[in-house]
Structure 1
Amino acid sequence: MSKPILYSFRRCPYAIRARLALAYAAIDYELREISLKNKPQAMLDISPKGTTPVLQIWDGFPSHQSCTVLEESLDIMYWALQQNDPAGWLNLSKDDLPIAQQLIVTNDDQFKKALDRYKYANRFPERSPLDYRQDAENFLQILELRLAAMDFLFGDHPTIADMAIFPFIRQFAYVDFDWFQTSAYVHLQKWLAGHEASNLFECVMIKVPLWQAVS
C-alpha cells in the first residue's frame, strides 16, 4: 500500500499540529512541503480550498487505489491517534473531555481571530495591536490558570488539547517575544518552552525542500 501523503507548510500552526500527531503516532507518511504562493496542482485537485494541511490516505488494492482526503488539521490528528496513541493523548476523563474540546474550539475561533489581527495589525487598522493582543490574552489567562496547577492542561502528561493549542501559542509569543517573555504568563512560558525543546517538535520542524511533482 502507498504511504499517506501530507501536504504541509512548515510554519503553519495547523500543519504543525498535524505533523506532531503523525510523528507521535509513528505514522509512516510522505511529507510534501509546499509554497502557499505556488500551490501544487496535485494538492488542489484533491483539496480545492488550497490551505494546509491536507492528508491523502490511500485505500484499496494498489492496482485499483482510491483515497480518503482529510482537509482539517484536527481530523488528521484524530485519525493519527486512532491508529496509535502510545502516551494517551486521547485519555481524558468524561469530565475533562468537554473542557478540552471547548479549549480547542476557543483556540481555533476567538483566539485565532485575535492572533491574526495582532500579528497582522496593519491589515486591521480600525484597532491598535495592543487592543488585539488584549483580546488574545483572554485565552492566555485561561491557560495560565490551568498551568499554575499542573504541568500540562489536563495533568502530568500532554493531551490532544496541549498539542492542538501549543502551535498557536507559539505563533502568538513570537509576534513580540520580548513582551511575552516578560509578561505575567510564567506558567505558559514554561509550558511553551517545554514543547519547543521536545524531540517531537524538533523532528517535525526540520526544514525540507519544497516538493515538486515529477513531470
Structure 2
Amino acid sequence: MTGPERGIWLVDATHREDLATFVERAMRLDDAAVIRLRERAGGQVVAWVATGFDVLASRVVAGTIRPPDLTAGADALARGLDAMDSSGHVDPGFPMDSAWRGALPPDSGFTHIDDVPARVVLELAQRGVTLAKQHGSAHGPPVSLLDQEVLSVSSAQDNVGIPMRCVFTLTAMAFLPQSAAASRDTGFDPATVAADEIVRVRALPAWLRIDARFGSVYRRRGDPALVLR
C-alpha cells in the first residue's frame, strides 16, 4: 500500500455505507462521539464506540487501516466517508487517540451462552421506551430502568442477565434488521423482523457480548463502571 501515512482503506461502497451507518448512529447518541478503529486479521476493520448507555458497540467492515489502531472524531470520520475516493481511501481526520478512555474486550475466547429471538429483544425495547417516557427526565431514562435485567439466559457453564442498557444500545445502533419506518418512529415493531432472526449471547468472566445481524454490543460484568475505565 502506498499513499497517505494515515487512513482507512475500505473494500467497496457497501462497506463504506455500513461504516457510515454505524458512525451516524453513534452521533445520534452523542454528537461528540469518538470512533476507535482496529485492524483485525483477515482484512477486517472493527469500529468501536463507547455509548452513553455505558455499553460498547462495534461493527466489522472489510478493509485495512494505518496505523492498525486509531481513533477519530465521529464528525470528521463521517465527512471522510462521504468523500471516499476511488481507491477506497477514507481520511479519518485529526487523531483523537487521547480521547478514548478504557480498554476493549478481547477478539476471541467468548463462550456461547444461548440465542434469543430478535423479536423478543424488540418487544423489550418497546416496553423500555414506554417506561422511559413515563419515568424518564431531560437526562434520559432513569438509571434504575437501564440497570434492570430484563432477560436471563443460561448454559451449562454460566447464567447471564441482560440489562436494558444493552437492549437500548442494540436498537439505537440499528443492529437489528428493523423496518425503516419502525426505526424512524422508535416503534421497534417485532412483526417487521423475521421470526427466525436471532441475537447470540456470549460471555467471558469479565464481559457480556451480544451479537446481532449488523453489529455487537459489549458490557462489563461485575462493576459496570469499569467499561469506561
TM-score normalised per structure 1: 0.28
User: Which structure features the higher share of helix residues?
Assistant: 1
